[in-house]
Amino acid sequence: MIPEQKTYSQDTSEYDQKSVRLRIEALFLNNVGLVISRDQIRDAARNPKTGVDPENWHQRLSELRTDHGYTILSWRDWGELKPSEYCMPHVDKREIASKRVRPTTATWKRILARANNCCEWQEDGQLCGLENGAVDPIGGGTVKLTPDHTTPHSVNPNSDPADESQWQALCGRHQVMKKNFWDGATGKVNIMAILQAAGVKQKREALEFLQSYFASKG
């Protein structure tokens, strides 16, 4: 249930849980129903011993939704929120898909060889191509490639760990982008997220299709 009004968290706690995910989880559980900013998430995720900001905090936030069943609203889910704001309206967890599988070590090596050690995300026919260990010029931070199901986990969690054709290598930014394309609770496509991320050519094609479709409906 979406809160009746937008109320901002004033949380100034320091979080010392052992992992980035657990620190972010604790922040949201301490501020149920309140709006939390991206900066507050980054502050909570910071390593309490070294003071280093994690480069992968956005992936851990996505995992709280998709792997752990929490409802965490963003601007895509609640129009009152800004793009850098989030809210956990309640602590109830959804039933989630079966435990994630990963490709075997040998399969992952074949995937990386196929990908030339680069992100395989494609948009408008253009390959992302960010190399593992490089600096992401858009998202910042060091690129770390991780295996991704070619069919979303929320739709089919049973990808074969030994079949490289069922996997792709993605950088962290595009892992998060792909997850935003699917509703982990229902397995349905998030049309608006896809259109927002699409290139100009694809947006025009979608517009022309919709104009033609509604014209035919009179």
Looking at the structure, tell me whether residues 117 and 204 fall in a common domain: yes
Domains identified in the chain, total number: 2
Q: How many Å apart are CA 41 and CA 45, to the nearest integer?
A: 6
Question: Tokens representing 176?
Answer: 């998060």
In a domain? residue 97: no
In a domain? residue 183: yes
In a domain? residue 153: yes
Looking at the structure, tell me whether residues 62 and 136 fall in a common domain: no
In a domain? residue 132: yes
Looking at the structure, tell me whether residues 63 and 136 fall in a common domain: no
96, 66 Cβ separation under 8 angstroms: yes
Residue in this structure with the two tokens 């994630």, named with its chain if needed: 100
9, 31 Cβ separation under 8 angstroms: yes
Residue in this structure with the two tokens 């956990």, named with its chain if needed: 88
In a domain? residue 7: no
pTM equals 0.52
The predicted pLDDT at position 185 comes to 46
Q: How many Å apart are CA 41 and CA 36, to the nearest integer?
A: 7
Looking at the structure, tell me whether residues 181 and 131 fall in a common domain: yes
Last residue of a domain, one of 61, 87, 113: 87
58, 144 Cβ separation under 8 angstroms: no
Q: How many Å apart are CA 147 and CA 46, to the nearest integer?
A: 25
Q: How many Å apart are CA 26 and CA 18, to the nearest integer?
A: 11
Last residue of a domain, one of 56, 87, 118: 87
Q: How many Å apart are CA 66 and CA 41, to the nearest integer?
A: 18
Looking at the structure, tell me whether residues 60 and 118 fall in a common domain: no
In a domain? residue 10: no
- Which residues, listed in sequence order, are joined to residue 167 by a DSSP beta bridge? 149
User: Which structural domain, as residue segments, surrounds residue 38?
Assistant: 20-87
Which residue type sits at 212? S
Q: How many Å apart are CA 93 and CA 124, to the nearest integer?
A: 36
In a domain? residue 35: yes
Residues in the chain predicted with pLDDT less than 50, given as ranges, are 184-187
The predicted pLDDT at position 99 comes to 59
The predicted pLDDT at position 30 comes to 96
Phi first, then psi: give them for residue 155, nearest 5 degrees: -95, -45
Looking at the structure, tell me whether residues 162 and 68 fall in a common domain: no
